């Protein structure tokens, strides 16, 4: 089996002993878009024994420019991103256990998810989830890696509770909606995705191997402008999270809807559903077919009604495409699915 990793074990800081440690490690990746697919691909090929990939979304044509685990056939099959990624990775390295979670990560279940992992990597597209990740990782003393890309630049930073500053030491307040660029307004180059993902996945290996070379700085890079900045940041003693241990995002019930990055779409969640319950798509499809075009599989139901495209997941979460107005999206959901 080690023959598979021969070019990696020849690298002194890893070696055969390090490879065995990777084989027994567990990594969680939240988000399976541009960053998440490259990170998952790297760690799977590196032989990390267990990968948990969590993502709420499904695949669209514009994803293929930068999300390397997907292809046109996945779109035809209406696959959620986590499922398609797990399928690809199982063919890349069958010795790695890949678990796909097609769900929205929120305060309800994130502690159980994080308590069972060695390192968590952020591959999300929104700060609300990142602040939630920061809360739970600081609380449970789990290292995590913050990463983000937009246009031609990207950022990554290791967050090691008790050692480095946490996310709120660096960004005390969550950015207000509309105040930061998105892939819809600024685009994103696939080259910067590869660079930031490569750095983040390598830092994950260092963390898993307890390497003294783990970075404790924030790295900013702009591939178009040819600039790189490494910033040393201090911990803040009065930080609400790692200083005062107030986990306000973890204790919050969360929002019932959220506008999605780079999409004329809104995600709507039903507070009535528990993690154990699942929708019966056959019953819903029968009810909706007289008024719209409906298709479904075991992973999602898709329906086009009144100019809106609804993608509904088994946990009653839905993505309403055709509007960026959360009130309109909730109204569409209530009319055809029910709150």
pLDDT of 178? 47
- Better-predicted residue by pLDDT, 56 or 185: 56
At residue 124, what are phi and psi to the nearest 5 degrees?
Answer: -90, 180
Given pLDDT bands bounded at 50, 70 and 90, which one contains residue 240? very high
Range of lowest pLDDT (1-5, 109-113, 279-283) = 1-5
Average pLDDT taken over every residue of the chain: 91
Strand spans (E) along the chain: 26-30, 50-55, 97-102, 119-122, 144-150, 153-159, 218-222, 227-231, 257-259, 265-268, 293-296, 301-305, 308-312, 318-321
pLDDT of 253? 57
Give me the mean pLDDT over the 61-73 stretch: 96
Q: Quick check: 14 pLDDT over 60?
A: yes
Share of the chain above pLDDT 90, in %: 71
Of 33, 92, 83, 88, which is closest to residue 60 (Cα–Cα)? 33
206: exposed, middle or buried (Cβ count in 10 Å: 0-12, 13-18, 19+): middle
Bridge partners for 268 per DSSP: 257, 318
Give me the mean pLDDT over the 225-237 stretch: 96
- Better-predicted residue by pLDDT, 56 or 282: 282
Given pLDDT bands bounded at 50, 70 and 90, which one contains residue 186? confident
303-334 tens-digit pLDDT: 999 899 999 998 888 999 999 888 788 878 87
pLDDT of 241? 97
Range of lowest pLDDT (1-15, 267-281, 290-304, 322-336) = 267-281
- Better-predicted residue by pLDDT, 243 or 278: 243
pLDDT of 16? 96
96 SS3 class: coil
pLDDT of 187? 86
Give me the mean pLDDT over the 69-76 stretch: 97
pLDDT of 105? 84
Q: Quick check: 339 pLDDT over 80?
A: no
Range of lowest pLDDT (14-23, 153-162, 268-277, 310-319) = 268-277
Residues 6+ apart with CB under 8 A from 4: 47, 93, 95
pLDDT of 175? 74
- CA distances to 242, 265, 320 from 328, rounded to whole Å, are 38, 10, 9
Give me the mean pLDDT over the 297-308 stretch: 92
Query: What does DSSP say about strands 301-305 and 308-312: parallel, antiparallel, or unpaired?
Result: antiparallel
- Better-predicted residue by pLDDT, 267 or 144: 144
pLDDT of 316? 85
Q: Quick check: 176 pLDDT over 70?
A: no
- Token pair of 265 as six digits: 């779409």
Of 207, 169, 227, which is closest to residue 27 (Cα–Cα)? 207
Q: Quick check: 254 pLDDT over 60?
A: no
């Amino acid at each position: 089996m080690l023959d598979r990793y021969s070019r990696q074990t020849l690298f002194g800081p890893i070696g055969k002993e390090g490879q065995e440690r990777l084989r027994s490690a567990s990594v969680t990746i939240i988000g399976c878009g541009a960053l998440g697919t490259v990170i998952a691909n790297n760690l799977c090929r590196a032989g990390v024994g267990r990968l948990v990939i969590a993502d709420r979304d499904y695949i669209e044509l514009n994803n293929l420019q930068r999300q390397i685990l997907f292809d046109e056939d996945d779109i035809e099959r209406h696959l959620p991103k986590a499922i398609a990624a797990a399928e690809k990775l199982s063919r890349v390295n069958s010795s790695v256990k890949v678990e796909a979670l097609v769900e929205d990560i929120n305060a309800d279940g994130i502690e159980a998810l994080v308590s069972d992992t060695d390192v968590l990597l952020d591959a999300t597209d929104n700060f609300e989830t990142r602040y939630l990740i920061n809360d739970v990782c600081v609380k449970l003393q789990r290292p995590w890696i913050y990463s983000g890309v937009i246009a031609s630049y990207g950022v990554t930073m290791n967050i090691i509770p008790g050692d480095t500053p946490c996310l709120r030491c660096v960004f005390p307040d969550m950015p207000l909606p509309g105040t930061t660029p998105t892939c819809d307004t600024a685009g994103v180059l696939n080259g910067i995705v590869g660079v930031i993902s490569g750095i983040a996945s390598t830092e994950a290996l260092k963390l898993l191997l307890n390497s003294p070379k783990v970075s404790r700085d924030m790295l900013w890079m702009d591939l178009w402008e040819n600039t790189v900045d490494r910033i040393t940041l201090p911990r803040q003693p009065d930080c609400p999270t790692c200083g005062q241990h107030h986990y306000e995002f973890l204790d919050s019930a969360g929002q019932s809807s959220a506008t999605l990055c780079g999409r004329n779409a809104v995600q709507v969640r039903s507070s009535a559903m528990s993690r154990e319950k699942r929708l019966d798509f056959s019953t819903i499809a029968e009810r909706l077919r007289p008024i719209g075009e409906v298709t479904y599989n075991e992973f999602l139901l898709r329906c086009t009604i009144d100019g809106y495209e609804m993608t509904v997941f088994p946990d009653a979460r839905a993505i309403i495409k055709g509007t960026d107005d959360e009130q309109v999206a909730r109204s569409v959901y209530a009319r055809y699915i029910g709150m």
